[in-house]
Amino acid sequence: MINERYNARESEPRWQRQWDDHAIFATKNDDPRPKYYVLEMFPYPSGRIHMGHVRNYTMGDVVARTMRARGYNVLHPMGWDAFGMPAENAAMANKVHPKSWTYANIATMKAQLKSMGLSLDWSREFATCDPGYYKHQQRMFVDFLAAGLVERKQSKVNWDPVDNTVLANEQVIDGRGWRSGALVEQRELTQWFFKISKYSDDLLSALDRLDRWPDKVRIMQRNWIGKSEGLRFNFGLVGAPEGFDTLPVFTTRPDTMYGPTFAAISPDHPLAKALAETNPQIAAFNEQCRKMGTSQAEIDTAEKLGFDTGIKAAHPADPSWHLPLYIANFVLMDYGTGAIIGCPAHDQRDLDFARKYGLPVIDVFKPLGSDESVQDTAFVPAKTETVQYVHWVGEPGVMTCEQAMARSLEIFERDGWGQREINFRLRDWGISRQRYWGCPIPVIHCEVCGVVPVPIKDLPVQLPDDIEFDSPGNPLDRHPTWKHVACPQCAGPARRETDTMDTFVDSSWYFSRFTDPWNTEEPTTRAVVDRMMPVDQYIGGVEHAILHLLYSRFFTRAMQATGHVGFDEPFRGMFTQGMVVHETYKTLDGTFASPAEIRILADGDNRQASLLDSGQPVEIGPIEKMSKSKRNTVDPDDIIGSYGADTARWFMLSDSPPDRDVIWSEDGVKGASRFVQRVWRLVSTLAPHLPAPGGKVDAANHPAAQALRVAAHRALSDILGGIDRLRFNTAVAKLYIYVGDLETMLANAPEGLAADPVLAAAAREAVDILVLLIAPMMPHLAEECWSTIGHSGLVSEARWPEIETGLLVSDSITLPVQVNGKKRAEVTVARDAQNPQIEAAVLALDAVKQALDGKPVRKIIIVPQRIVNVVG
């Protein structure tokens, strides 16, 4: 039979229709089988899907389809993280309404996702900007407020004084507003906060239970929460205004209490503010400090600035020891007490500050065996390193910093001028945003009653559609009528909160909502959410390793506290995938060219690029993350249109480990496409010669058939193992090997099967297994093959066979033999051979004798089933 090439363009939509028609991916909440919840981070509807989405959703789909084939009731939903700034930017730039822009994008992207052949339950789809979704989010805000998990307090924002608007950190470029170019200032606003810090300890300790999370993510979260034990004490103040007799300070390094040469407070410290009222110089200095962005990186890298207040801080251990008190721009009001002791010898920031303002430096401890004093580099050893203490609370001595810190705490507590205190770096979560396209915060401000939550029966507080984007700022705030309402308590005149919620709130509970998105009354249905959650495997980018995951963990606890769910951890398994990167191309005039605009000619190892239309040469630049600005993106539609979804999916799984970046290349896609055809050729060649499905195989006395069965079950075991560990690239490699094995064993003589029923039965089993194994990765091709080899149902609904483990062990094994750690030979022994037998066999080898060169054997190390090392 002459085989036609596999035509993905014709086949893929056909199978997608079949899946849709039979609704085979619609999950039933009352299915009695064990559940498995696979979720990929839902996309922001930016316009079109990109290759990062293709990679993310392919990985999730492989897991979903694999678990389905193993008999689980798989939940694999999809939705849209639909609120956010880009919609407002588009509204300003192109005069489109954020709502229509967003929903149009969703329609486009949904069609694109559908063309990928993902096994998604679309019946559960929602967008976070649907009032039917944010209604419940507002309800939970009200519940959290009642439960004491929400509060209002002052916090800082980036303020653009020209546009009169709040800027996001990413809108501040080199300290200036991105549109106006004005110097950005810090401004204090009263804002809403979720009290995530209430859960600091729990969020930290529960990380130990998340054993199916990457270690790096858990470490990052641990550091972010930043639990530290330290000393809290008071400086006595000399020369301070009334009411400021003492200054509370927290330090994590009590062992350096005898090394400070200054004290410093934040420009936002109450004392700094009080001083500013009477001292114009201090007011000006504080003002200058506020001309700085609010991001941590900026604060850390900015030049250290200080202002000597003239006030003296008296050391609690020796009140006659006076330190100058500064106001300093690098001291944060949010952490500890907003005041620090400056110990220049052992903190680089303090040292930079001391050098700049001519303050002394006192060495508290020195490296072992050294008498050198700190010069321009602070001495900051690991806390576990042993050093010699020369100037601290006790006698000079040799110990680790940890030991000295513990001892210092004891002494200071005993002497009664300080207490041990646990502090966390984690700050409360500020959720107020002065923007339109977000979930309205459901409270009403009444002059008489104060802050009143919107009654639950009045939810949702819906965004008005009639808004204007012709000037910067929050359109909700300047809407003529929307914010004016009657107070729910006294019915007097009142106004709505015009701030909306951080979009991280939207994405902090969508996974729970997916379990019953049809419930119009409540955010969740307890019986359902408690059974379908937690998410068994969550997959998304590393960039979300801290914030999104931490907020979701907090929000789930808050939902538990308010009775919306019965568990605290939302994600049992977590996986962070790498980015999709691509070469960049620079034209002669310095602009970037897109991959679609250029042609590459390869001459040996030399690659030359030129523009398609003009023939101008193009410089091939470094490989970078796909981005619009570098123009190195590849449109998934183009790839699916020319090669098919299966090829794109296969390529995304090949080669690179999923947690690392993958380089998109035209050659790589071609290789993937070749494999699609190779599988099709193999299966369609064999199809006419295979016996009917469902027969039994007994190949015990048939070496060729037995070899086939061994290959098939080994493939089943290896590939399943690869997918379970999410090592898709190795699973792909094993599939290449398996296809190669089948080609050698079967494809050369398919006619022979007719005369050999045992071999034919084994071949049927082996080909069935091949098709089942490729199905999670290339589902359309698999369906085409499955029907070609005579199955009536869909492979997407087929169960995987049990692995016959008996086929995986052989009677003899081959061990590498080393002499003094270098491989010199191999030896084949019975699987159950005892050590003396192995030693004898090894010492009899010529290569071993030669390598020993007459030296006596000192010992022989035998690692069972692994290796033999002869030490001479």
Partner RNA sequence: GCGGACGUGGCGGAAUUGGUAGACGCAAGGGACUUAAAAUCCCUCGAUGGCAACGUCGUGCGGGUUCGAUUCCCGCCGUCCGCACCA
Residues that constitute the known binding site for ATP: 628
Smallest gap, in angstroms, from Cβ of residue 552 to RNA? 13
Q: Which of 38, 558, 732, 842 binds RNA (CB under 7 A)?
A: 732
The rounded distance, in Å, linking the Cα atoms of 125 and 82 is 12
Contact call for residues 442 and 138 (beta carbons, < 8 A): yes
Per CB under 7 A, 236 contacts RNA: no
Strand partners, 420: 231
Smallest gap, in angstroms, from Cβ of residue 729 to RNA? 5
Per CB under 7 A, 871 contacts RNA: yes
Checking phi first, is residue 502 left (phi over 0); if not, alpha (psi -120 to 50) or beta? beta
Chain-centroid distance of CA 106 in Å reads 23
Q: Which of 24, 85, 406, 857 binds RNA (CB under 7 A)?
A: 85
Question: Please, which of residues 331-350 interact with RNA by CB under 7 A?
Answer: 348-349
Contact call for residues 192 and 184 (beta carbons, < 8 A): no
Smallest gap, in angstroms, from Cβ of residue 180 to RNA? 15
Per CB under 7 A, 663 contacts RNA: yes
Q: Which of 1, 2, 93, 602 binds RNA (CB under 7 A)?
A: 602
Smallest gap, in angstroms, from Cβ of residue 680 to RNA? 11
* CB of 260 or CB of 722, closer to RNA: 722
Per CB under 7 A, 599 contacts RNA: no
Tokens 């700050």 sit on residue: 427
Question: Please, which of residues 377-406 interact with RNA by CB under 7 A?
Answer: 382
Q: Which of 52, 84, 324, 779 binds RNA (CB under 7 A)?
A: 84
Reading the block at residue 867, the tokens are 């290796």
Smallest gap, in angstroms, from Cβ of residue 315 to RNA? 26
Q: Which of 205, 614, 642, 820 binds RNA (CB under 7 A)?
A: 820
Per CB under 7 A, 219 contacts RNA: yes
Backbone phi, psi, residue 530, to 5°: -70, -25
Reading the block at residue 611, the tokens are 């523009």
Question: Please, which of residues 99-128 interact with RNA by CB under 7 A?
Answer: none
* CB of 526 or CB of 628, closer to RNA: 628
The set of residues, in sequence order, having a beta carbon less than 8 Å from that of 721 and lying 6+ positions away, is: none
Q: Which of 263, 275, 426, 838 binds RNA (CB under 7 A)?
A: 426
Question: Please, which of residues 284-303 interact with RNA by CB under 7 A?
Answer: 294-297, 300-301
Q: Which of 814, 828, 835, 837 binds RNA (CB under 7 A)?
A: 814
Per-residue x/- marks for RNA, 436-475, CB under 7 A? ----------------------------------------
By DSSP bridging, strand 176-177 and strand 172-173 are: antiparallel
Q: Which of 504, 514, 554, 585 binds RNA (CB under 7 A)?
A: 504
Strand partners, 249: 233
Per CB under 7 A, 190 contacts RNA: no
Question: Please, which of residues 608-627 interact with RNA by CB under 7 A?
Answer: 625
> What is the size of the binding site for RNA (CB under 7 A)?
96
Quick one: three-class SS letters along 183-223? Answer: ECEEEEEEEEEECHHHHHHHHHHHHHHCCECCHHHHHHHHH
Reading the block at residue 550, the tokens are 């931490």
Q: What secondary structure does DSSP assign to 470-501, as a single string?
A: SSSS-HHHH-SSTTEEE-TTT-SEEEE---EE
Q: Which of 53, 346, 433, 702 binds RNA (CB under 7 A)?
A: 433
Length of the chain counted residue by residue: 872
Contact call for residues 327 and 282 (beta carbons, < 8 A): yes
Judged by CB under 7 A, the stretch of 56-64, 215-223, 480-488, 784-792 that binds RNA is: 215-223
The rounded distance, in Å, linking the Cα atoms of 665 and 634 is 10
Q: Which of 12, 40, 61, 81 binds RNA (CB under 7 A)?
A: 81
By DSSP bridging, strand 484-486 and strand 262-265 are: unpaired
Per CB under 7 A, 425 contacts RNA: yes
Judged by CB under 7 A, the stretch of 246-254, 590-598, 656-664, 828-836 that binds RNA is: 656-664
* CB of 701 or CB of 865, closer to RNA: 865
Checking phi first, is residue 23 left (phi over 0); if not, alpha (psi -120 to 50) or beta? left
Q: Which of 9, 660, 849, 855 binds RNA (CB under 7 A)?
A: 660
Per CB under 7 A, 92 contacts RNA: no
Per CB under 7 A, 168 contacts RNA: yes
Of residues 90, 66, 62, 91, the one with CA closest to residue 654: 62
The rounded distance, in Å, linking the Cα atoms of 348 and 339 is 17
Backbone phi, psi, residue 720, to 5°: -60, -40
Tokens 């509370």 sit on residue: 248
Per-residue x/- marks for RNA, 670-699, CB under 7 A? xx--xx-xx---------------------
Q: Which of 604, 703, 806, 854 binds RNA (CB under 7 A)?
A: 604
SS3 call for 825: strand
Question: Please, which of residues 539-578 interact with RNA by CB under 7 A?
Answer: 542-548
Q: Which of 114, 176, 391, 727 binds RNA (CB under 7 A)?
A: 727
By DSSP bridging, strand 443-446 and strand 432-433 are: unpaired
* CB of 276 or CB of 550, closer to RNA: 550
Q: Count H helices, E strands: the chain?
A: 26, 36
Reading the block at residue 301, the tokens are 């890298």
Output the known binding site. Answer: 628
Amino acid making up residue 350:
D
* CB of 660 or CB of 855, closer to RNA: 660
Burial of residue 857 (CB within 10 Å: 0-12, 13-18, 19+) is middle
Per CB under 7 A, 432 contacts RNA: yes
Judged by CB under 7 A, the stretch of 240-248, 308-316, 455-463, 815-823 that binds RNA is: 815-823
By DSSP bridging, strand 73-75 and strand 386-389 are: unpaired
Judged by CB under 7 A, the stretch of 67-75, 79-87, 313-321, 685-693 that binds RNA is: 79-87
Q: Which of 137, 408, 434, 525 binds RNA (CB under 7 A)?
A: 434
Judged by CB under 7 A, the stretch of 14-22, 482-490, 522-530, 818-826 that binds RNA is: 818-826
Tally of CB atoms within 10 A around 309: 24
* CB of 112 or CB of 434, closer to RNA: 434
Per CB under 7 A, 828 contacts RNA: no
Per CB under 7 A, 714 contacts RNA: no
Of residues 817, 132, 231, 785, the one with CA closest to residue 522: 132
Per CB under 7 A, 329 contacts RNA: no
Judged by CB under 7 A, the stretch of 394-402, 527-535, 803-811, 817-825 that binds RNA is: 817-825
Tally of CB atoms within 10 A around 213: 21
Question: Please, which of residues 835-854 interact with RNA by CB under 7 A?
Answer: 847, 851
Per-residue x/- marks for RNA, 347-366, CB under 7 A? -xx-----------------
Judged by CB under 7 A, the stretch of 249-257, 266-274, 663-671, 708-716 that binds RNA is: 663-671
Reading the block at residue 858, the tokens are 């000192």
Amino acid making up residue 719:
I
Checking phi first, is residue 369 left (phi over 0); if not, alpha (psi -120 to 50) or beta? left
Of residues 744, 735, 737, the one with CA closest to residue 704: 744
Smallest gap, in angstroms, from Cβ of residue 701 to RNA? 29
Tally of CB atoms within 10 A around 311: 23
